[in-house]
Structure 1
Amino acid sequence: MNSFFLFSIIFWIAAWIINIFIAQSNLAKTKMVLPPILFGVSLLLIWEASISAFDVSPVILPAPSLVFIKL
């Protein structure tokens, strides 16, 4: 398991904890914007890290960085 995969898992856990605190806050706009952004970033990090950690063929599942390059 490489360090990028470990970092992405730690980031996902931290984002989850931050989302719990955001859900308990009184700021309405923060509740509407920040959780989806944190979820999307953590999902992309885990996807990218899983591709490199498990050496998945780009034909089966391309990394998000390759998808964005092709766009």
Structure 2
Amino acid sequence: MSEIDADFDCAAAAYWLSVASKSTPEKNAALARAASPLRDERAEARIPDSARQPTLNDLDAPPLDVAHRRRLTP
């Protein structure tokens, strides 16, 4: 999605949110229309550039082996 498309989607979402705040019968439909582009934009922002991103498990330090741990002080 280009930057212009993203700006247009944000403007459309803001419009539908303003419609939803002014009219109660159309509130659910307007909120659904506004949430879709914002949800798509957030999802696209989360897509990584590289194929594999490190997970929390990859970033965790390996567990300490307590049985073989040496003392630092004599």
TM-score normalised to structure 1 length: 0.48
Q: Which has the higher contact order (CA 8 A, sep 6+)?
A: 1
Higher helix fraction: Structure 1 or Structure 2? Answer: 1
Q: Which has the larger radius of gyration?
A: 2
